[in-house]
Amino acid sequence: MKGYAERLKCGIITENPTFVQMLGMCPTMAVTTSAINGIGMGLTTTVILVLSNMMISALRKVIPDKVRIPAYIVVVASFVTIVQFLLEGFVPSLYDSLGIYIPLIVVNCIILGRAESYASKNNVWLSMFDGIGMGLGFTIGLTSIGIFRELLGNGSIFGAHIMPESYQPISILILAPGAFFVLAFLIAVQNKVRISKAKRAGEAISICEREDGCASCTNTLCGGKAFTVEGVMGTKDKLDKKLTIKDVIDKENMESKNDGNNKDAKNKDDVNKDTDKKDKEV
Amino acid sequence: MSRESIKNTLSLMLITVIAGVLLGLVYEVTKEPIAREKQRAKEEAYKLVFNDAESFDMADKDYVYELVEEKGFDYDADIEELMAAKDASGNMLGYVATVTDHEGYGGDIQFAMGVRMDGTLNGISFLSIGETAGLGMKATEDKFKDQFKNKLVSRFSYTKNGSTGDDEIDALSGATITTNAVTNGVNAGLYFINTLIEEVNEEVG
Amino acid sequence: MNLFLIAVGAALVNNVVLSQFLGLCPFIGVSKKVDTAAGMGGAVIFVITIASAITNLIYTFVLEKLDITYLQTIVFILVIAALVQFVEMFLKKMVPSLYRALGVYLPLITTNCAVLGVALLNVQKSYGFVSAVVNGFGTAVGFTVAIVIMAGIREKIEYNDIPESFKGTPIVLLTAGLMAMAFFGFSGLIK
């Protein structure tokens, strides 16, 4: 029982995908123009995450290691398509507002990240709770950003006007640049917290294998690396040791010399291990 | 090809095929209720833009398309459906059109609009709109929509400086693209239906 | 629809990164040096243009013909992943010089959200083959323009005195926000 509760806590608080891991930034920025869109996107992702986590966990012994990434993609894409039908039919307003970002859930780092780092190694029930925790964490992240942008940008929350008439909405916040600004301040605040924490107590060690969670996402999709590695390292002022594109390039060059009929998955696997190592050095 | 890679390829293919077949099944099962749900939403919208009509019968929109194309139809919008609105005893009250305009900021905007036989626009009701929340989405608020209500106008235009006449629509602040798309869509629908009404009146007269 | 308008619209007015938030991760991850940014941009142009063409053909001649358009997401993502692998192998064998310039970036964009995003947008806007390719090309050029400008700015930012908590990603995002505002200026280009 303890394990399940811990999964929920990890997802919602200690390993929160939005605020701590900075994953799935494309939908985070694109759909949080209002609180209701944020919660809609969050819950949609949660449903898909739970289903794909369970399915991948159930199939973890069947899927050959070398083709696991494409296999995960197929599983996730199937669930995304099913959820898309249902939304189109029964919640058309949400379907219209989220638009192209629904099928793009396929390439959301969180989902493949969890598949790779958790679901493929743990049993179905734990994976389910991991999905619920992570999904709710993501939902809370999106909803709170949505509330913030909608409140200041439009003077309302969940469509209900609550700001006084005299309030002049800061429309830029619900436009594209607003998304960048809000996120920038969010990360800055977080960095601030981390810096002061680090100063107080040296290195803080997370109980949930954090590096693992991010690292697996690094090269699977979207390249979440940009956020995680930089976000963490920037604060510790080790900019010189940061994983740059050059590392990846060098690695790739070496690999291409080795050649062999490496498939997609193998390639990614190697780069992945490489990143893992780097992350641990940090 | 080594044995292992054949095995890998096969298992990946198997997973894909199973996923595809399952998706097909889900699609078949959900197709019916989804279509019904969409139909219900449409009928609700028809009722909203023509609340005194009892029944809506499919009208021949291809025929009207021929008519308007003769006169020239240069709107970036399509008329998806044309319905004849009738009262309980079967008298013609007017027409309802489903218009899709392609100029929206977040993609297509689809709405239903009802026009009486004398050319009065009853109002519009959105079926599908994905504009920016807080900006373009304000088109769905009554304040904007009601500007199209009960107007005998052949063509609307929008203004940013406060509307002065029946045919002027106050633009949504910060969402001119949405305003433009909706106004154009309404104009397309009006043009379409008015062409038909003229034709019908000529035949009768 | 005028093809030129589609290209300009995709590249500048609805910039893929700055207004649609697709391909954000490489935009922030690979924008430290102008030359790497340009290399990434080149690879993205290459892949997105080809992917637009192929996904369009598959959609029109396979998915629509067999009436299985609901499989589009799953088919597109697999096609794109396979395509990138194929392009990589092809370039390595046939055009080694181009491979040396772009090859290293190819694995990184296998699943760049922008590639799938463009393919889906092409379907959503029911573009024909030529329009789809032009839209893909325009989108990718937009990505390249944005990432190269960003890299140019970041090379300068390195020497600036930035508050500690804004170092790294936050300052990049702030810059991107300002760029997004600047790109609003292009919306007057097409109506």
Lowest mean pLDDT among A209-218, B75-84, B168-177: A209-218
Q: What is the pLDDT of residues A139-160, one digit of tens each?
A: 999 999 999 999 998 888 888 8
User: How far apart are the C-alpha atoms of C88 and C105, rounded to whole Å?
Assistant: 10
* Cβ contacts from A onto C, under 8 A: 174
SS3 A217: helix
Are residues C31 and C147 in contact, defined by beta-carbon separation less than 8 angstroms? Answer: yes
Higher confidence at residue C180 or residue A276? C180
Q: Using the beta-carbon criterion (under 8 Å), do B8 and A175 form an inter-chain contact?
A: no
pLDDT at A76: 92
Close Cβ partners of A151 (under 8 Å, ≥ 6 residues apart): A157, A162, A163
Contact predicate A175/C174, CB 8 Å: no
Parse chain B into domains and list their residue ranges.
48-204
What pLDDT was estimated at residue A58? Answer: 93
Q: Which residues of B touch A71 (CB under 8 A)?
A: 11-12, 15
Calpha distance B126→B155 (Å, rounded): 19
Of the two residues B74 and A176, the one the predictor is more confident about is A176
Q: Which residue has the higher pLDDT, A30 or A225?
A: A30
Residues in contact with B10: Cβ distance below 8 Å, sequence separation at least 6, in sequence order: none
C-beta atoms of B26 and A82 within 8 A: yes
Give per-residue pLDDT as tens, B83-122. 888 888 888 888 899 999 988 887 889 999 999 888 888 8
pLDDT at A260: 41
Neighbours of chain C (3+ CB pairs under 8 A): A, B
Q: Which residues in chain B have Cβ-Cβ distances shorter than 8 Å to A156?
A: 134
Under DSSP, the state recorded for C133 is: H
Residue given tokens 């029930």 in the structure block: A125
Of A108, A271, B124, nearest in space to C104 by CA: A271
Q: Which two tokens stand for residue B192?
A: 């379409």
Decide if A34 and B130 are in contact by the 8 Å CB cutoff: no
H or E, element range at C82: helix C72-94
Residue B86 backbone zone (phi > 0: left; psi -120 to 50: alpha; other: beta) = beta
Chain C contact for A25 (CB, 8 A cutoff): yes
Note the pLDDT tens digit of each residue in A225-267: 322 222 223 333 333 333 444 454 455 455 444 444 444 444 4
Q: At A137, list the tokens.
A: 């964490």
Contact present, C49 and C55 (Cβ < 8 Å): no
Residue at token pair 């100063």: A199
Quick check: A82 pLDDT over 60? yes
B27 touches chain C (CB under 8 A): yes
Tell me the three state secondary structure of residue C163: coil
What strand order describes the sheet that includes B77-86?
B55-58, B77-86, B92-101, B109-116, B121-128
For residue A195, give how far its alpha carbon lies from the nearest alpha carbon of chain C (Å): 8
Q: Is A235 close to C25, i.e. CB distance below 8 A?
A: no
B130 at C interface, C-beta within 8 A:
no
A59, A266 Cβ separation under 8 angstroms: no
Task: Choose the closest CB to C36 out of A109, A245, A267.
Answer: A245
pLDDT: which is higher, C68 or B174:
C68
Phi, psi of B123 (to 5 degrees): 155, 175
ipTM of this complex: 0.87
Mean pLDDT of C65-80: 88
